[in-house]
Amino acid sequence: MPRVYCFAGIVIGFFLFSEAVFSKEIHTDDYLAGLQQQAGELKLSEQRVWHLLLKYKPRLFGGIVSEADGMGFFNSSDGKTNPQSELMATLASFFLPLDDLAPNQEHPQCNFPARFKWLNQQLKFDANHLTIQQCDRLDRWVNELDPVGATLVFATYYLNNPASMFGHTLVRIDSRDRGGERKLTNYGANYAAIPDTDNPALYAWRGLTGSFEGRFAIFPYYTKVQEYNNLESRDLWEYELEFTEDQLNTMLLHLWELGGTYFDYYYFQENCSYHVLSLFEIARPDLRLRDQFLFSVIPADTVKVVMAQEDLVKKIVYRPSLLSLLNQKRHSMTRTERSIFEALVKEKISPASDKFTSLSTRSQVLLLDAYMDYLQYKSMQQGSDHEVKIPHSVLQARSRLQVTEDESESNTYFSSPPELGHGADRFRIGMGHNDREPFIEFAYRPAYHDLMARDEGYDKDSEIIFMDFKLRYFFESERVRLDQARLLSITALNPYDSLFFKPSWRLDFSVDTLRDRDCNYCNAFAGSYGRGISYRPAFFSPLLLFSFVDVRTDFSGNLKRDYRLGGDVEMGAYYDFNDQLRIKLAGSYRVFVLGEHKRFFTSHFVTRYAFTQDLDMRLEFNRYDHNNEGILAFNYYF
């Protein structure tokens, strides 16, 4: 063939191919424009699902902003604040040719599969005009998780960690082939702050001001059980939820999208529980779980909201910590059994001794099982990575006893489910009289629980009080005064345990009235920290005794040298007559040795009668040096 014909053929072929490509681009552009027009006509950018997918929420002074703070979460440069622009850009991104992707970059259809799924449902994408991409990594991930259920998990309170003192929630993804005894092998999804400091003050400040990044992570569920149940001795409450497989698939696809971004973490607003609720809303957009929270999102309150939904929770499972399992066994022991068990723990006797073998078979089994729990617990507390070493004599003795655990025996619960607790917010109104005049007081606090309130749903023997403001109006002097502002107050009463001694402790930062002085109800900035011992005669005894030694300081212009520094010794008791009636009696002797010197006694007598979990009445008599006051108050929790 002459060269001229070959050349002409190549040129003609090139133009025909170019025209075909050009024509296809025109058709693609037309199809995209058609989709965008259709999306605009349907007002998809205003729909709730789109706002859930992009984490949009109304701004305080108008407009909309996404809670996501990683800009890779958006396809439009103004997508964080413009739902319409983000939707148009997202549709356009789905048409991105593979050749335009950077090395190792995922296609937007694979990066944002939940958005792709929802937009496809709304606009019915035509595969002849939009190439559906293969998402190998996503497919492998979804196939590995293979969800048939989701479980909300509440880890009980842990006062030793500021981030966990209000409890913690996470999600367990229940896979098709990991049910029954294999539930621990499921995966969990956790949202948490990524702290970059060990300084407690800086940690608290940055957590309150949203200075940490918060991210979702997937992990084997048994690692969290190990951390919470075994290392931190926190009971777990598991709430198995009712979702369809399609709803679970949507939730999982959205979780994949969240893996590439982060959020500013706020302890009281955008925290673990807040974002866990957002996952459930993605699965079922008719749920409006987060709408019920304005100022703070307390993990226990989010469980209450989930429990309040019709047909959402299908089963509740109590997973006691290793310490609770051990204490269940100790609680079921007789006095003689407890004595022999402690001798066994302290290695004063062995399983071969006559004192032990003289016990009944059931008692021997109980004590040996408890002893093995004890060894495992001690190993966990020591942070050992090695296998728990159980003496051969113990294993041999236990193997000879054929009695199995009696499943008919009911479990003893060492914590109660959080949905039974009173509301975290409290409003208080009271009437009182001091040595000079009557007064009325109003108080509000957004969180959380005090030792005189009912314990159900909360950590027994502890209190956390945050931002508790109390105002008083004095009738004769006709003035309103700030009586007290407890900025943060924490008390952990750890009853003495012969096996595991933990001191009680407390701290308090507040603005308080100088009650031992006649200075017209003047205020002082006050701080204290103390350690002490508590004692309860038995696990569920109604009596709790306590004593503390505190370091205290007050700063006020009404004090000589504007401050005083000293301490106090306090002793007291709580006693429960029944679930409704509790009394507290306490007395202290305070000594200030620097700044303004002073010594004086204080005494308190408080009774609480609970009408319901959310309403109680208190009668208080307080004495500070020579000043007395009595108060009758009503507290409403919500």
CA–CA separation, 158 and 494 (whole Å): 13
Give residues with Cβ within 8 angstroms of 570, minimum separation 6: 530, 532, 546, 547, 548, 550, 586, 587, 588
- Please give the distance of CA 414 from its chain centroid, rounded to a whole number: 19
* Residue 404, pLDDT score: 62
Cβ–Cβ < 8 Å for 564, 528: no
Is the dihedral angle over the CA atoms 268, 270, 275, 281 positive or is it negative?
Answer: positive
Supply 557's token pair.
């212009």
Task: Please report where in the chains the tokens 């025109």 appear, as a residue.
Answer: 26
Tens digits of residue pLDDT in 1-14: 455 454 455 444 44
- Give the chain's residues under pLDDT 50: 1, 4, 6-7, 10-17, 20-21
Query: Which amino acid, residue 329?
Result: K
- Please give the distance of CA 458 from its chain centroid, rounded to a whole number: 13
* Residue 17, pLDDT score: 45
CA–CA separation, 27 and 16 (whole Å): 16
* Residue 410, pLDDT score: 66
Task: Please report where in the chains the tokens 């982060």 appear, as a residue.
Answer: 262
Q: Is the pTM of this model over 0.95?
A: no
- Please give the distance of CA 166 from its chain centroid, rounded to a whole number: 6
* Residue 15, pLDDT score: 43
Determine phi and psi for 154, rounding to 5 degrees.
-110, 120
* Residue 110, pLDDT score: 96
User: Residue 161: beta bridge partners?
Assistant: none
CA–CA separation, 161 and 629 (whole Å): 36
User: Residue 465: beta bridge partners?
Assistant: 448, 489
CA–CA separation, 333 and 323 (whole Å): 15
CA–CA separation, 94 and 234 (whole Å): 45
Is the dihedral angle over the CA atoms 42, 45, 50, 51 positive or is it negative?
Answer: negative
| Nearest partner of 278 among 249, 299, 251, 247, judged by Cα | 251
Give residues with Cβ within 8 angstroms of 458, minimum separation 6: 157, 300, 416, 418, 421, 422, 449
CA–CA separation, 623 and 434 (whole Å): 10
Give residues with Cβ within 8 angstroms of 55, minimum separation 6: 66, 67, 68, 73, 263, 278
- The alpha carbon torsion through 354, 357, 358, 361 (nearest 10 deg) reads 180
Task: Please report where in the chains the tokens 């991104």 appear, as a residue.
Answer: 93
* Residue 14, pLDDT score: 43
Tens digits of residue pLDDT in 238-248: 999 999 999 99
3-state SS class at 8: helix
CA–CA separation, 65 and 107 (whole Å): 25
3-state SS class at 510: strand
CA–CA separation, 229 and 424 (whole Å): 25
CA–CA separation, 67 and 263 (whole Å): 7
Task: Please report where in the chains the tokens 């004769």 appear, as a residue.
Answer: 476
